[in-house]
Structure 1
Amino acid sequence: MKKRLIIVTIIASTTGVILILLASYLEIFFPAKNAFYIGVFGDAILSIIKGLGIALITSALINALKYFAENAETLIRNDFISILKNEELRSIKSRIDHALYFRGRNYDEDNFYTFYEKEISSLLDSYYYKSYKTFIDCEFSTYYIKKTIRKQLEMINAGKKSCTTKIPFEASLQKVNGFDMNDLYQIKKFTIDSKDYTQEINEKLTICDNSNNSTDEYCINASTSYEVAFEHRCQIDMIIETIVPIDDTHFSNKVTVPCKEYSITFKLNNPLYKLSWYSFGFSGNHKDKLLYEIPLKDALEIGFKEWILPGDGVLIAINKKV
């Protein structure tokens, strides 16, 4: 902006001086009471030329003085920033950030704030979860736990263009005696904006037994995804049933994009067990301020009061009462 103002000021001032000199020269060349005198009409034209020159010089000086004299509030109120280019806005922001956070401090240019400012800026041009709600209902048997997991997601596209993302369905499971591996992970419902895609997602679902190639107890891998494109807003509703051994007592859940309203309700339906939980991620480390817990009959609801970041979530454990 400063460079542009200097260029405009120089051009306007130079043009003004040229017009004044031109008018003065013409007055000398066509003086009154001379054979070449151009008359009253000519005098009026010369006056207009001289006036334009003076006006250009004056306006250029006034604009330059206003630029250096006006405070930030006046510039913003007069919509100063709307005429700036992106490069100029970034330059101003960088200087403001430095004045706010790094004045008088020994920080490199490649600092913690700069790194995360770039990361967060990239998130602003994508989508976020306006709400992310999870409901888990447990059914206990002698040797296994059946979990019915329902997730209701509301996604908002914050960017200017249509948004495309993939909804993942993934789980690593243990074998359970008496059950085929295809029974361990089942997608019972999948809708996008109330339109049913349950059959399509089940046709894409793959469940593999990797026990021959791995010593990991969690050798059953279920995975697929569904690509979703939306302009402004999208609602996802899914229900998944899993079967795990009775000693597989942990459940974790985290978000992959910024989320405004996050909650998880875990229902045991068994008085012999209780729940404990742990939050993780950046927001999880501020649980005293951001997290809330609502004990329910044989259940527990946990949620975040404010925005959470990608990687934030909770880990829930099922414990047998002593």
Structure 2
Amino acid sequence: MKKRKISYRIGSIAVIALFELGGICLIALANIPFKKPYIWWEAWGRDTASNAGTTILVAGIISLLIEISTLKNFFQDSMKNILNEDFPFSAYSEENLVNFKNLISSYLIGNTMSKEELKKDTIYSYEDQLLQLAKGKYYDYHRAEYTVYPDEEKEMIRINATIDYRIINKEGEKNEIRFKTKSYALKDTQDSFNLKKLTINRQEVETKNLVKIERIDKQEESNFYDYKVKIEKDLGKIKKNDVHIEYEYWVPMYDKLQNYKITLPCRNLVHRIRIKNNWELRGSAYTAFYYRQGEADAKYKIEQSLPDALSINFNGWIFPGAGYSVYYDQKNCEENEK
């Protein structure tokens, strides 16, 4: 339909151009000095040709101006339709599309700076990373339940955990489960972590030899933890995986701070923590970007109805690095004993 409209517009301009040419020819004919002209030509033919040519030429110019204005509006409307619906992305290279995007962003920011200055001198320099995150893997949801058991006689803290998440791999990239936590050295460090169950898309997976406990040697990785616990499992290139993990681990009594950071973009996260034996919890959450809190639909919040239980809720998209810290508090228990 659009091609027909464009052809019609171009065809009408061609007709106007022919009339213009005809008008010019009549004016030129009226000015030719014939040697032996007909009597009627001298009497009225010359003037008639000149007047007709002039009239056609002026009318053609006016029609052309009107048509050009109409054609301009048509192309503007067509461009709006293209931008809103059918922009031919495949006709342009990725470099051209990126340049076009940067020009639009510069205009919307209100700057007249070049694209190099835009990416160097403004926070827009992070836009490329955001684009890569949007194209990559992400968690559709991430749920966790932690139950903490302080054991003062053994001077240890036992933590039972259940994690459920859905990882979306829409580009079909290579994918795998990557679980990692750090701990202090224990008397039986190699037995301090027990992977009880792992299921992928409701299919139970053999857990033997999946857990690796390695000593931390590089100070850049950690300057106070001694070991790292890793679980790695290939997920292939499947576009959606539902993962369920159950595990138990021990930490020294003095390791009272639990930290968690999300490693992929996540649409929604809810982690619940409960502590036993009359201990209490304190928590704090954080994100990569600041959000005002206090509203009913706050982006993230900590809900705590009891001193020994809390829930960390991230409502909406969060970036890698967002997370929380939870402190196991024995202070109130000691005060009550006094």
TM-score w.r.t. length of structure 1: 0.69
Measure how far apart 1:77 and its partner are.
Answer: 5.0
CA contact (8 A) 1:208 1:220 kept: yes
Tell me, in whole angstroms, the C-alpha distance in 2 between the residues paired with 1:116 and 1:218.
Answer: 31
Alpha-carbon distance change, 122 to 251 in structure 1, aligned in 2, over 3 angstroms:
same
The 5-angstrom pairing of residues 170-319 of structure 1 reads 170-177=180-187, 180-199=188-207, 202-208=208-214, 218-271=225-278, 273-283=279-289, 286=292, 288=294, 289-297=298-306, 298-319=308-329
Q: Name the counterpart of 2:145.
A: 135
Alpha-carbon distance change, 197 to 84 in structure 1, aligned in 2, over 3 angstroms:
same
Residue 97 in 1 paired to residue 109 in 2?
Answer: no
Measure how far apart 1:64 and its partner are.
Answer: 6.0
Measure how far apart 1:228 and its partner are.
Answer: 1.3
Tell me, in whole angstroms, the C-alpha distance in 1 between the residues paired with 2:133 and 2:70.
Answer: 38
TM-score w.r.t. length of structure 2: 0.66
Measure how far apart 1:148 and its partner are.
Answer: 0.8
Mean alpha-carbon deviation: is it higher for 149-158 or for 253-262? Answer: 149-158
Q: Give the gaps of 5 or more residues in structure 1.
A: 1-7, 25-56
The SS at the match of 1:306 is: strand
The SS at the match of 1:247 is: coil
Mean alpha-carbon deviation: is it higher for 235-244 or for 84-93? Answer: 84-93
Alpha-carbon distance change, 77 to 301 in structure 1, aligned in 2, over 3 angstroms:
closer
The 5-angstrom pairing of residues 58-207 of structure 1 reads 65-66=72-73, 69-70=76-77, 73-76=80-83, 79-80=86-87, 85-87=92-94, 88-103=96-111, 108-109=117-118, 110-142=120-152, 143-159=155-171, 162-177=172-187, 180-199=188-207, 202-207=208-213
The SS at the match of 1:124 is: helix
Measure how far apart 1:231 and its partner are.
Answer: 3.3
The SS at the match of 2:98 is: helix
CA contact (8 A) 1:133 1:262 kept: yes
Larger radius of gyration: 2
Measure how far apart 1:99 and its partner are.
Answer: 1.2
Mean alpha-carbon deviation: is it higher for 185-194 or for 95-104? Answer: 95-104
Aligned pair count reads: 269
CA RMSD, aligned part only?
Answer: 3.9
- Percent identity of equivalent pairs: 18
